[in-house]
Structure 1
Amino acid sequence: MSIKDRREREKEKRRNDIFAAAEKLFLSRGYDDVSMNDIAQEVELSKATLYLYFDNKDELFFAIVLRGTRILNSMIREDVKKAKSGIDKVSAFRMAYHNFNRDYSDYIRIYNYFQSGRFEIAYKESFKDEKSFKSKKQYSDLSELQSASEYLNSIHEMRIERFTIMCNSVQDGIDDGTIRPDVDPAEAAVLLSSISKSMSDIPPDHRKILEKRGIDRDKFVRDVENLIRHMIMSYDPE
């Protein structure tokens, strides 16, 4: 191994060590209770060394949000790909989201914080033609994101991909007759996205109400999915 290769490997390892230390602290404490000094102490490096790899705390936080987002999108892609009909793809998408919420709840928590307005991230309209979801061309211009950060651009790209998958799933259902033709794919995607987000943060008093009725998380998820299917499914007039 050449000296150059060895240095590159050492540099990559140090970057990964910093990332791992920051992830541990952000997931356990949240964004506001973690400083660059805390991360430096955790990874046993100087604060100045951290700035050689990451510009600031925000960039480190965005990198961790991106990791969780990539895991979520991977789960959604895999499950939707297995489904046959459009309405089953919609259910597969949402079940993948719920499974991610169950298995990676810390990532959901920091993503919700990322979306809370704390970072003043603004998005312009994401697509030009709501009738052409299949082409995905309406999502190709990531310059619409106001921040130039590579992490923010990638997070935005992942968000766009999820929305596109849901829109295409609804459109597939309309095309194959499993979803009503009067359902608007974009409107349905926004609604279902909002429902998924709210289900990841059910208030404690509402959880107690469900528990008293013998409804645990899994049953609640199944019941909501059944309700949504009946909302959008196409019925045989006979």
Structure 2
Amino acid sequence: MALAERRQRERDQRREDIINAAEKLFFSRGYDNVSMDEIASEVELSKPALYYYFKDKESLFFAVVNRGVKIFRDITTEELKNSQTSGLKVGAINLATARFNQEYPDYAKAHVHFWSGRFDLSNDKDLSPDAKEIIEFSCENYRIIHSIIKNGIEDGTFRSDANPLLTAVLIGLISIGIPHMSPSIKTFMETHGITAQQFNLEVADLAYRMVMHIQEGDENIRSRKSGSDI
């Protein structure tokens, strides 16, 4: 049993080494500009050995994306932990997205690429375990947002005319679009003194205010996070 466990640990470590090598190349050059030959060379493996762990480049890319998704999940859990009311929970979801985009931009861009239509995600039985986890996290996130907004409408925290489903989808689409911003837009904002950090918080605050009953003097997301690293 000890020998079997040691061999499993070695296989797990080799798999992590492969993902590390692929991540380095994908992040520096982009998915389409990296080949399995180059990944095998980077990790010092033969191609047959590489294909033993990953059946193709897609499944390897999905493993990289799933690393980011797990980080995103942890950030979301952390932000939600101390948020008791519906309003604070919506703010926490938006702040988690802003943090992920700001602190892990390469993972955020890879996540956008996963959902860009570049990959066929329609046949569940052909998807790798990593791809299934990524999709499940997305569905889970939408379910959480939908539930928060629905409960907030019922308890009077949110506007009664807000559609929980459409609002949840809109918040999700906003979060997906931010990392995909073109360089020209980023340059335009920078020339007007707006950093990516400020933009993330402004968008999070806008999404927060879409559904809230905002009264004069109410604090916003930016004031709640003043002095933070975001």
**What is the TM-score when the length of structure 1 is the normalising length?**
0.81
Match of 1:43 in 2: 43
The question of 1:151 aligning with 2:151 is answered: no
Choose 155-164 or 223-232, whichever is displaced more. 223-232
Deviation at 1:186, TM superposition (A): 0.8
1:95, 1:72 → 2: CA distance? 11
Deviation at 1:116, TM superposition (A): 1.5
Give the letter for the 1:160 counterpart.
C
Choose 74-83 or 224-233, whichever is displaced more. 224-233
1:207, 1:5 → 2: CA distance? 49
Match of 2:150 in 1: 171
Helix, strand or coil for the counterpart of 2:53? coil
Give the letter for the 2:135 counterpart.
H
Q: Count residues in correspondence.
A: 215
Instruction: Tell me if structure 1 keeps the 8 A contact 2:75–2:96.
Output: yes
Identical residues among aligned pairs (%): 40
The question of 1:207 aligning with 2:173 is answered: no
The question of 1:117 aligning with 2:146 is answered: no
1:221, 1:14 → 2: CA distance? 36
Match of 2:177 in 1: 198
Choose 214-223 or 107-116, whichever is displaced more. 214-223
1:200, 1:98 → 2: CA distance? 10
Give the letter for the 2:15 counterpart.
R
2:17, 2:181 → 1: CA distance? 34
Give the letter for the 1:66 counterpart.
N
Match of 1:105 in 2: 105
Deviation at 1:149, TM superposition (A): 2.4
Give the letter for the 1:168 counterpart.
S
Deviation at 1:188, TM superposition (A): 0.3
Instruction: Tell me if structure 1 keeps the 8 A contact 2:152–2:158.
Output: yes
Distance of aligned partners of 1:19 and 1:221 in 2 relative to their CA distance in 1, 3 Å threshold? closer
The unaligned stretches of length 5 or more in structure 2 are 216-230
2:139 to 160, 174, 182: 160
2:127, 2:200 → 1: CA distance? 37
1:2, 1:211 → 2: CA distance? 57
The unaligned stretches of length 5 or more in structure 1 are 123-143
Distance of aligned partners of 1:209 and 1:35 in 2 relative to their CA distance in 1, 3 Å threshold? closer
The question of 1:234 aligning with 2:209 is answered: no
**What is the TM-score when the length of structure 2 is the normalising length?**
0.84
2:13, 2:154 → 1: CA distance? 49
Instruction: Tell me if structure 2 keeps the 8 A contact 1:63–1:151.
Output: yes
Instruction: Tell me if structure 1 keeps the 8 A contact 2:66–2:134.
Output: yes
Instruction: Tell me if structure 1 keeps the 8 A contact 2:86–2:157.
Output: yes
Give the letter for the 2:96 counterpart.
A
Deviation at 1:151, TM superposition (A): 1.9
Choose 29-38 or 222-231, whichever is displaced more. 222-231
- Superposition misfits of 4+ residues, deviation over 6 angstroms: none
1:59, 1:226 → 2: CA distance? 36
Helix, strand or coil for the counterpart of 2:33? coil
Q: Give the root-mean-square deviation of aligned CA atoms.
A: 2.2
Deviation at 1:235, TM superposition (A): 5.8
- 1:39-94 deviation line (CA, Å, top 9, x unaligned): 11111111111111111111111111111111112211221232122122111101
